[in-house]
Structure 1
Amino acid sequence: MNADDFRLDPSVAHLNHGSFGVVPAVVRRRQDEFRAEADRDPDGYHATLGERVAEAREEVAAFLGADPGGLAFVDNVTEGVAVALESVPLAPGDRILVCDHAYGAVDIAARRRARRAGAAVDTVTLPGRSDGEWSAQDAAAALLAAVTPRTKVAVFDHITSTTARLLPVRHLVAELRALGVVTVVDAAHAPGMLEVDLGGIGADFWTGNLHKWAFAPRPCGVLAVAPAWRERVEPLIASFYLGEGFPHSVEFQGTRDHTTWLAAPYGLRFLKELGAAETRERNAALALRGQRIVAEATGLPAWRGDAELSMRVLRLPRGVAVTQDAAGALADQIFRTCGCRTAVRPWPDAGLLRVSAQVYTRESDFERLAAGLRDIFS
């Protein structure tokens, strides 16, 4: 497996799979066939679109251990979280709970929903914010301790985006349910990177991207909704399918490009052909080795990670990349210096460098990054 299988630029070391994913060439060809079909006969294509989306949904549901009737395609997790929040009734004085590791767009969505309802957002600071040394149990305890009698919704990650840590979602969902709190899980990185069993998680709302680690074309995500909430789901855009209810009301909006959803099962099949378990194990091990290579060569602190994850984080020097603009500028400088694509994220006192490993990644890519960072910080 190499860059040619993904149509990647072979001159670049692609160490940022976590941000956008990469589409295998075979999956892209299948999507192109769907698009060509829609262009040849738009009426014929749309006449059977509902049935074909349902078939794709069933295959994705089986992959995630979900009920097909409780799963809808969405463009991405940002849309999924917004739909979930709009579907939960809030009153003035109610509280939405988020954590300080939340993805920026998710935090914005929570604050917008709270503002419209006259509610408020409570942000939980997870332990170990300055050094990355925290356990899943400590994180769960901090989130649960922040629940108040007015907490109506808790939004938390399956895998944190900026800090690449795994939260104990099953435990959190069960404990929050006992407290009467609606759960919305941001699982942007979970499908494909982890073996997911949505039936066992049991969240009220769980939303993940298929275009990151499950090899679907962009944009492609799913929103899983518990039975008690399905009749109350409110799509962000009304369409003729509104009266049909979930999932159709969320999925069908006129001439939306549905080809990413139709092609999504081919991404799952690609992963299965590679060997899903073996691929996850290989990627997680390579991400850890890569983190160590960079840390040993540069002296950058390697933040603690989780054995199952294919992303790892290093702490940058104090004062570096503490704003979004500065983080973007450093990512550009890294690319100009050594031709490596990485994720640089702002963080208090010192920014974070996140690296990813996928089947096209090689140990030499991390060595190349380490050499470039030595030049930059020398």
Structure 2
Amino acid sequence: MEFGYRIKKEWLLDDEVTFLNHGSFGATPIKVIEAKEEIERRLEREPLSFFEGEYPYLLKDAITKLANFTGAKPGDIVLVENATTGINTVLHSLEKELKPGDEIITPNHVYQGVRNTIKYFAERTGAKAIEIDIPFPVVDNKLIIEKITVKINDRTKILIVDHVSSPTALVFPIKELIDLCRSKGIITIIDGAHAPGMTDLNLDELGADFYTGNCHKWMFAPKGCAFLWVSEKWQNKINPLTISLFYGKSYQEEFAWTGTKNPSPWLGLSSAIGFYNLLNFVKVREYNHKLVCDATELICSELKIPVHTNNEMLGFMSSISLPVRLEPNEHITIDLRNHFMKEYKIELAFHNNNGNLLFRISSQVYNEIEDYKKLVIAMKDFKEKNKK
């Protein structure tokens, strides 16, 4: 398939909107939606036969394909609804491992939902939630490793770190951080919400204790499809958030059935991986990475904004400082998103990163550089109208 505007017909995206925010929720291709809907029809035609007959085999097929895609053993992976559920699942199961005074550390580039989860479990256990200040802009992975290393001490129990940061879009040096923590006996939990489909994952080689990732963002799966990878040594200590019929059985059996729900987002994963493979992972990665790097250079040059990182630390997203000074408030990121949709028909993500307002662009195979030229025009207009 030829990338760019010609392939956009494979999605239901509004032609009137310049869609530069694949990163927030993804966009599911029409063929994958149709496969998901066909699964739902089969379920509703004969629910008992589906759940007791087809479902276990379809689930196994989806997990096997996912394991091949992510460089994992099928037995180490279970499916969950989203990466936030994955993080909550792990911390809930590890609650008994935490004692008062233990430290859960994470960089301050953390996703807000995970920040709240860490705070919640720290309050429940008496552990301390420690955020490590990593400046942004940052152009060197060594700085990230150094900042985290100096915060590690005898009380450090868990490191939770993004593979790809949501607010700043940086690809973190997780292999080096995992190796560092393993040498010091620290548990590693990787929030890979944005990584599957963006980075060349090999979960077995990474060697984390826990890794959770979304499939609905960059893997094209239906919404409500994510995974949790657990290293073998921890699998007998991890349970789903909802305990049901298979409590006390195997790790995968417990997660496969947590009560009646619509499994079509999980089972639609096989179609999503098939669609991705049709596009070719290497070609997708080359196209999207080059496009986001070219777009970042274009935007920063035209708006006279410093580039915040180097190309090696970008995947398919890039976060750039807003070209006008605004006073942050609780609703400003939502207000900015709504404003750019209403005034310019451009879909963007906005983040308040420790007081620094950023807009985040995404690149996907249906985008072209012309999309970002439209954004430059809109940003110049916005800047002119908000001069102080």
Name the SS for the 1:281 alignment partner: helix
Q: Tell me the distance in 2 between the aligned counterparts of 1:2 and 1:10.
A: 12
Name the SS for the 1:312 alignment partner: strand
Match of 2:99 in 1: 91
Match of 1:51 in 2: 57
Q: Could you list the runs of 4 or more consecutive aligned residues of structure 1 that deviate by over 3 angstroms after TM superposition?
A: 305-308
Q: CA deviation at 1:370?
A: 1.0
1:245-264 deviations in Å (ceiling 9; x for gaps): 31232232222221111111
1:41-88 deviations in Å (ceiling 9; x for gaps): 111110121222112101101110111111110111100111111222
- 1:190 counterpart = 2:195: yes
- 1:159 counterpart = 2:164: yes
- 1:227 counterpart = 2:232: yes
Match of 1:64 in 2: 70
- Answer yes or no: is the 8 Å Cα contact 1:319–1:349 preserved in 2: no
Q: Matches of residues 251-266 of structure 1 in structure 2 within 5 Å?
A: 251-266=256-271
- Unaligned 5+ segments in structure 1 are none
Q: 1:318/1:303 Cα in 2 relative to 1: closer, same or farther (>3 Å)?
A: same
Match of 1:335 in 2: 341
- Answer yes or no: is the 8 Å Cα contact 1:334–1:373 preserved in 2: no
Determine what percentage of the aligned residue pairs are the same residue.
Answer: 29
Q: Matches of residues 25-174 of structure 1 in structure 2 within 5 Å?
A: 25-48=30-53, 49-88=55-94, 89-126=97-134, 128-129=135-136, 132-174=137-179
Q: CA deviation at 1:334?
A: 1.2
Per mean C-alpha deviation after superposition, the further-off stretch among 227-236 and 85-94 is 85-94
Per mean C-alpha deviation after superposition, the further-off stretch among 29-38 and 132-141 is 132-141
Name the SS for the 2:331 alignment partner: helix
Match of 1:246 in 2: 251
Q: CA deviation at 1:351?
A: 0.2
- Answer yes or no: is the 8 Å Cα contact 1:140–1:167 preserved in 2: no
Q: Tell me the distance in 2 between the aligned counterparts of 1:215 and 1:122.
A: 34
The two structures, once aligned, show a CA RMSD in angstroms of 1.4
TM-score by length of 1: 0.96
Aligned partner of 1:303 among 304, 308, 311: 308
- Answer yes or no: is the 8 Å Cα contact 2:158–2:187 preserved in 1: yes
Q: Tell me the distance in 2 between the aligned counterparts of 1:241 and 1:266.
A: 28
- Answer yes or no: is the 8 Å Cα contact 1:34–1:259 preserved in 2: yes
- Answer yes or no: is the 8 Å Cα contact 1:156–1:185 preserved in 2: yes
Match of 2:379 in 1: 373
Q: Tell me the distance in 1 between the aligned counterparts of 2:164 and 2:371.
A: 24
1:64-120 deviations in Å (ceiling 9; x for gaps): 011111111011110011111122211112111111000011111111111111111
Q: Tell me the distance in 1 between the aligned counterparts of 2:220 and 2:64.
A: 17
Per mean C-alpha deviation after superposition, the further-off stretch among 303-312 and 4-13 is 303-312
Name the SS for the 2:211 alignment partner: strand
- Unaligned 5+ segments in structure 2 are 1-5
- Answer yes or no: is the 8 Å Cα contact 2:12–2:30 preserved in 1: yes
Q: Tell me the distance in 2 between the aligned counterparts of 1:204 and 1:321.
A: 40
Per mean C-alpha deviation after superposition, the further-off stretch among 318-327 and 62-71 is 318-327
- Answer yes or no: is the 8 Å Cα contact 1:322–1:348 preserved in 2: no
TM-score by length of 2: 0.93
Q: CA deviation at 1:321?
A: 6.3
- Answer yes or no: is the 8 Å Cα contact 1:318–1:350 preserved in 2: no
Q: 1:305/1:14 Cα in 2 relative to 1: closer, same or farther (>3 Å)?
A: farther
Q: Matches of residues 266-345 of structure 1 in structure 2 within 5 Å?
A: 266-307=271-312, 309-317=315-323, 319-320=325-326, 322-345=328-351
Equivalent AA in structure 1 for residue 78 of structure 2:
A
Q: Tell me the distance in 2 between the aligned counterparts of 1:107 and 1:16.
A: 22
Q: Tell me the distance in 1 between the aligned counterparts of 2:104 and 2:281.
A: 36
Q: CA deviation at 1:292?
A: 2.2
Equivalent AA in structure 1 for residue 346 of structure 2:
C
1:119-160 deviations in Å (ceiling 9; x for gaps): 11111111x33xx12311210121121112111111001111
Equivalent AA in structure 1 for residue 20 of structure 2:
L
- Answer yes or no: is the 8 Å Cα contact 1:321–1:344 preserved in 2: no
Equivalent AA in structure 2 for residue 21 of structure 1:
G
Name the SS for the 1:244 alignment partner: coil
Equivalent AA in structure 2 for residue 265 of structure 1:
S
Q: Tell me the distance in 2 between the aligned counterparts of 1:370 and 1:265.
A: 38
Q: Tell me the distance in 1 between the aligned counterparts of 2:351 and 2:305.
A: 15
Name the SS for the 2:221 alignment partner: coil
Q: Tell me the distance in 2 between the aligned counterparts of 1:270 and 1:16.
A: 20
Per mean C-alpha deviation after superposition, the further-off stretch among 334-343 and 347-356 is 347-356
Q: Size of the alignment, in residue pairs?
A: 375
Match of 2:3 in 1: none
Q: CA deviation at 1:310?
A: 0.8
Name the SS for the 1:323 alignment partner: coil
Match of 1:7 in 2: 12
Equivalent AA in structure 1 for residue 119 of structure 2:
R
1 or 2 for the larger relative contact order (CA 8 Å, sep ≥6)?
A: 2
